Amino acid sequence: MNNRHLQDPLTGMGNRQSLMAALQVRLDAIRHSDQQAALLLVDGGRLKKINDAQGMAVGDQVILQIAQRLQGFAGSSWVVARLHADTFACFLENPGSTEDALDQAKVLLEFLAAPVVADAESVPLCPRMGMAFYPRDAATPADLLQAAEYALQGAKKSFLTPCQQFDFSQYEVQKRHLKIEKALYELMDQGVVRQLELYYQPKICLQNRCVVSSEALLRWQHPQLGSISPAEFIPLVEGTSLGVRLDRWVLSQVSEQLACWVRQGVSFPQVAVNLSTAQLTQEDFPEWLAARMQYLNLPPACLQLEITEGAMISNDQMAFDLLHRLQHLGFSLALDDFGTGYSSLSYLSKLPLDELKIDRSFIMQIAHCGRSLKLLESIVALARNLELELVIEGVETAEQLELLQPLGAMKIQGYYFYRPMKASDFTGLLSDSTSLMFF
């Protein structure tokens, strides 16, 4: 190859620029035909580990051997290039049907999966492949490369499918998620939070049907994307600093609302706020929250914090200490979505909890599954023995309510009584009703 700037110095193969130039020529040539073409990206899978453990020189040998294997395997019409690190591209012109191309890719994957020998040692590889098709997935070289890159990222995350083809619908979901994350960052940065609003859902006492507490739930109305459910956007920020900021914004809003009820002379029940995973890694959180409540002259016990088991798994001891500090300061603590995690029972004995919220999936099953009802009865007994308050989430029908009646004292949160409502409607409910039990 004469053009040095198009050549990868380590392997002597074409580099990314040379690939893009070749793609432009080849795609132009078949643009008006009914031929398809495939771009296959291959990643050796273990280069970082090899570099870290055995040094960059061994890493280079591994890259060279992958390159040699690829060149040995490639058909005469293939364009092969090294993109970066141990990631290579193969362009297959007219590879037959999509299935044919995938079959070829799988054979190549097996061929590449054998260990290489570097520095007189056997070095295992863990190759991954992503594939995109012209014209099905993209019309230009840049878009084709991006689509194949996206498929490769999917393959790298998967144990079961080390060779993946581009999936447009998945790509759209990921693009939407990136948009949502970006929009949420911007909202928090600008302090413009008019698009966000808190709704309140009452929790009802099963025995006397009074409102005994409530949960604050976020709603987001985006000018272009419309209404975005917290079930979609919260998981995107759960473990991040954005989750931490969002939680604190929610807590600020809710405490303002509590102070507002105090000023208006409205009696109000305890309000629960959901905490994201990352909040329990923030050393300053208990004191931050206590200071906020003190500033507004509110007793901490009018706030409940809902956590999930997921929040405990990654940061055990620190999270336990933090929860103990929160309880010591007077905040109430609830374990949310109980029954959906992995190690519920061991956590139950360790966490300083006041309340257990049984996940909606239980109530959905009890009407048509006797064993689910038995399981629910056992959980109720367990919560009683541990002196925990109990909430059943997601009660929607009179039939479900009837099945719960014999189980004794508990709180009910569900559409059967109330859907989450605007703060103004909830204030109206609190002001009007004669049958509320207040905090």
Catalytic center residues: 393
Strand 128-134 relative to strand 87-93: parallel, antiparallel, unpaired? unpaired
The vertex-391 CA angle with 386 and 393, nearest 5°, equals 140
Residues touching ligand C2E, count (CB under 6 A): 21
What is the rounded CA–CA span in Å between residue 209 and residue 389? 16
- Which residue in 170, 229, 241, 346 binds ligand C2E (CB under 6 A)? 229
- Which residue in 276, 304, 332, 427 binds ligand C2E (CB under 6 A)? 276
- Which residue in 15, 255, 274, 277 binds Ca ion (CB under 5 A)? 274
Question: Is 230:198 a contact under the CB 8 Å cutoff?
Answer: no
Taking the least distance from each CB to ligand C2E, the nearer of 138 and 244 is 244
According to DSSP, residue 115 is labeled: P
Count the alpha carbons within 13 Å of 132 in the hemisphere toward its beta carbon.
27
- Write the interaction track for ligand C2E spanning residues 151-170; mark x where CB under 6 A is met and - where it is not: --------------------
Measured CA distances, 131 to 45, 71, 125 (Å) = 16, 18, 19
Site for ligand C2E in 186-225 (CB under 6 A): 201, 217-218
239 binds ligand C2E (CB under 6 A): no
What is the rounded CA–CA span in Å between residue 394 and residue 374? 18
- Write the interaction track for Ca ion spanning residues 390-419; mark x where CB under 5 A is met and - where it is not: ---x--------------------------
- Minimum distance between the CB of residue 112 and ligand C2E, rounded to whole angstroms? 42
Taking the least distance from each CB to Ca ion, the nearer of 154 and 420 is 420
Stretch of 159-167, 242-250, 287-295, 337-345 lying at the interface with Ca ion (CB under 5 A):
337-345
247 binds Ca ion (CB under 5 A): no
Question: Is 258:251 a contact under the CB 8 Å cutoff?
Answer: no
- Which residue in 337, 354, 355, 389 binds ligand C2E (CB under 6 A)? 337
Q: Which does 95 bind (CB under 5 to 8 A by kind): ligand C2E, Ca ion, none?
A: none
Stretch of 13-21, 136-144, 365-373, 392-400 lying at the interface with ligand C2E (CB under 6 A):
392-400
Stretch of 142-150, 229-237, 320-328, 430-438 lying at the interface with ligand C2E (CB under 6 A):
229-237
Exposed, middle or buried: residue 186 (CB in 10 Å: 0-12, 13-18, 19+)? exposed
Q: How far is CA 80 from the centre of its chain?
A: 36
The beta strands (E) that lie in 5-162 are given as 37-43, 79-84, 87-93, 116-118, 121-123, 128-134
Which residues have a Cβ under 8 Å from the Cβ of 147 and sit 6 or more positions away?
Answer: 39, 132, 137, 138, 166, 171
What is the chain's length?
Answer: 439
Taking the least distance from each CB to ligand C2E, the nearer of 148 and 319 is 319
201 binds Ca ion (CB under 5 A): no
Distance from the first to the final alpha carbon of the chain: 79
SS3 of residue 284 by DSSP: coil
Binding site for ligand C2E (CB under 6 A): 201, 217-218, 229-231, 234, 247, 250, 274-276, 336-337, 394-396, 413-415, 420
What does the binding site for Ca ion look like in residue numbers (CB under 5 A)?
A: 274, 306, 336-337, 393
